[in-house]
Amino acid sequence: MDSQLLIKSMANGDESNTNKLHVVMFPWLAFGHIIPFLELSKFIAQKGHKISFISTPKNIDRLPKLPLEFSNSITFVKIPLPKVDGLPENAEATMDITTEEIIYLKKAMDGMEKEVTNFLEKNSPDWIIQDFAQYWLAPISAKLGISRIFYCIINAWFIAFFGSTENMVNTNSGPPPTVEDFLVPPKWIPFETKAAYRRHEARWMVGSSQKNVSGVSDLYRNGVTMTGADATIFRHCYEFEGQWLKLLEDLHNIPMIPSGLMPPMVENNNDKKNDQSWISIKEWLDEKPKGSVVYVALGSEVTIGLNEINELALGLELSGSSFFWVLRKPSESGNTDPIELPDGFEERIKGRGIVWKSWAPQLNILSHDSVGGFLTHCGWSSIIEGLMFGHPLIMLPFLVDQGLNARILEDKGVGVEIPRNEEDGSYTSNSVANSVNLVMVENKGKIIREKAKEMISIFGNKNLHDKYIENLIEFLENHRKVSNQHISN
């Protein structure tokens, strides 16, 4: 850091005032990103610091109500999303659109630049903690003397897979990576790993390495954001696959700060005694034997086709296991057709399985004694929530980091990946049923179930992860820059 660094014991002034930070949080427009940013905001606010949380009006209105203790420390800043051709009316988050429309959401977010700049100029925060998409933000923040952190809400191996920042930035001008580049672990990973993409996933990754309608590639956004950051935060910890954090420091030469896994708190049943949906879910779960139910949820961002829904449904039926399947569409994806399940499916599985077509309290379900396995799309937040309760994973990855997550977690022995066609990613009801049976009932799956239980000591260890948060906040307190404007105030 340069000579503008704030020394903690600054000029014997009012120390409590001097050390109070103003931190701006600015996540990408996906609730899988917005919620971890909000959780981190709460931790920082609890230490006496002020948070300004930027997002669009509709996204802020959809956030859970903050506890009263944060009413003076966390302020929501609504900045409208400009209209962009190709982006549906009233869409402000990835859950409102199809996967193909996300490029237009990035383009619209780029149009927030002027309003965000105005806010930063007026408020002179100490730090801005931002996401990957706002590659235009670092030069603005640097010019205003604001310290910058890139918060990667996923784990360290996803970013490490793409190599140095120079590698990422060069995708915008040099030759793009090929499908073959993604099928094996990259040469800069110095240790043995199963981290690699399948061919059907690799084609998607090649697309994210190419310029889109926003004028830049996703990898370029990531690379420029990291180049302009004073540090990067990862939702990772040294106790689980810690060698990836060390590799990132070697690749990028800036501080890599693990936030820990930030395992969420489960609402207790008293807090949910008037929640009718939880009451009916709990009654159903209470009737099932301990460890017998497969919880099935593919996240709020993944849209799967009719054939994929059918094969998954028939596979769950074929498995013979009890299951609770949360199956809902993105809220405003433009598709108003009802969700179609195979003919007679819901009648045939009555009593043994439930297809829940609205929001469900995932943490409460996963914490219930009758749940014994988790069929997941392998989003990092969902993995954390499954392993904090020691549930073995039945993995069906689709996008972005999910394939890498599945390979590494299968290699760790805590779950199995549902076999798929390498070319088109299709899977069959038999492959679903066999994977569910292996994890839930077969003797061969006993070691997987035991390994998953062992993960509670890392993923469910609140004290361990609280310590990571304390170290992160200490970094913020001790490494902010002070512009002349800050000093004069």
CATH code of residue 153 = 3.40.50.2000
Domain carrying residue 189: 22-264+462-479
Q: CB–CB of 376/393 below 8 Å?
A: yes
Question: Is 90 contained in some domain?
Answer: yes
In angstroms, the first-to-last Cα distance of the chain is 22
Are 220 and 256 part of one and the same domain?
Answer: yes
* Residue 330 and residue 445 share a domain: yes
How far apart, in whole angstroms, are the C-alpha atoms of residue 434 and residue 130?
Answer: 42
- The answer to whether residue 249 sits within a structural domain is yes
Q: 446-454 and 429-440 helices cross at what angle (nearest 10)?
A: 70
- Select from 423, 367, 410 the least CA-distant residue to 391: 367
Q: How far, rounded to the nearest angstrom, does the alpha carbon of residue 291 sit from its chain's CA centroid? A: 27
The residue to which tokens 């914490």 are assigned: 367
Q: Which two tokens stand for residue 195?
A: 């981290």
Q: 139 and 185 share a domain?
A: yes
Tell me how far apart the alpha carbons of residues 124 and 482 are, in angstroms, rounded to a whole number.
Answer: 10
Q: Along the chain (489 residues), what's the average pLDDT of each consecutive run of 10 residues?
A: 34 50 97 94 96 98 93 96 95 90 95 97 97 95 95 93 88 78 94 94 85 89 93 95 94 93 80 76 95 93 85 96 86 58 93 92 95 96 96 94 96 97 94 97 95 97 96 93 45
Same domain, yes or no: 297 and 149? no
The residue type found at 479 is H
* Whole-number Å distance between alpha carbons of 417 and 459: 20
Q: How far is CA 267 from CA 264, 366, 379, 405, in A?
A: 9, 12, 21, 27
153 and 285 co-located in one domain: no
- 109 lies in the same domain as 211: yes
**What one-character DSSP code corresponds to residue 414?**
S
Residue 108: inside a domain, yes or no? yes
16 is a domain residue: no
Residue 363's contacts (CB-CB under 8 Å, 6 or more residues apart) are: 264, 266, 267, 385
Q: What pLDDT, on the 0 to 100 scale, is given for residue 6?
A: 34
Q: Are 233 and 252 part of one and the same domain?
A: yes
* CA separation for the pair 405, 156 (Å, rounded): 10
Q: Are residues 365 and 469 in the same domain?
A: no
Same domain? For 381 and 432 the reply is: yes
CA distances from 149 to 23, 114, 260, 400 (A): 10, 20, 16, 22
Q: How many residues does the chain have?
A: 489
228 and 302 belong to one structural domain: no
For residue 340, what pLDDT is reported? 84
* CA gap 431, 311 in Å, rounded: 9
The reply to whether 9 falls in a domain is: no
10: in domain = no
Alpha helices in 253-319 (DSSP H): 276-286, 306-319
Shared domain for 469 and 456, answered yes or no, is: no
pLDDT value at residue 370 = 97
The Cα 53–Cα 23 span in angstroms is 8
Distance CA 247, CA 265 (A): 31
Euclidean distance between CA atoms 231 and 475, whole angstroms: 10
Sign, CA torsion 14/148/473/251: negative
Distances (CA, A) of 364 to 154, 268, 275, 463: 22, 8, 12, 21
> Which pLDDT does position 51 carry in this prediction?
98
Does a structural domain hold residue 312? Answer: yes
State whether 474 and 426 are in the same domain: no
Judge if pTM exceeds 0.85.
Answer: yes
488 lies in a domain? Answer: no
Please count the structural domains in the chain: 2
